[in-house]
Amino acid sequence: GIQVEQSPPDLILQEGANSTLRCNFSDSVNNLQWFHQNPWGQLINLFYIPSGTKQNGRLSATTVATERYSLLYISSSQTTDSGVYFCAALYYGGATNKLIFGTGTLLAVQP
């Protein structure tokens, strides 16, 4: 089955710093999503990005489907960015339609 790997597993930043999180996937996927799980456990949709680049405020994401990776950029990090960032690849084929999640990057932004 599809494998999704994320790096780094954890990251500590000072407020204001920039960071890049990486997601590698092992096979062709139909789509890719990035999520932020905040310290209260809620999953927040960040990007739905099968290919190309998207930006939303201080966050942007790039997916290069042919090379099987996606990157999430966080600029000018804030303490509220803390939490776990997951990427998830959508596997759709036949009767199945499911997200395969990576193991996440735990981000701590210190004031």
List interacting residues with other proteins (CB under 8 A): 30-31, 33, 35, 41-43, 45, 48, 86, 88, 90, 92, 95-104
- Cβ-count burial of 100 within 10 angstroms (0-12 exposed, 13-18 middle, 19+ buried)? middle
Q: How far is the CB of 95 from other proteins (least distance, A)?
A: 5
User: Looking at beta carbons only, is 33 or 70 nearer to other proteins?
Assistant: 33
∠ CA 56-73-111, rounded to 5°: 95
CA-to-CA distance for 67 and 35, rounded, in angstroms? 21
Q: How far is the CB of 76 from other proteins (least distance, A)?
A: 26
User: Looking at beta carbons only, is 31 or 62 nearer to other proteins?
Assistant: 31
User: Looking at beta carbons only, is 17 or 54 nearer to other proteins?
Assistant: 54
Query: Taking a C-beta distance cutoff of 8 angstroms, is the pair 32, 21 a contact?
Result: no
Q: How far is the CB of 90 from other proteins (least distance, A)?
A: 7
User: At 36, which helix (H) or strand (E)?
Assistant: strand 31-37
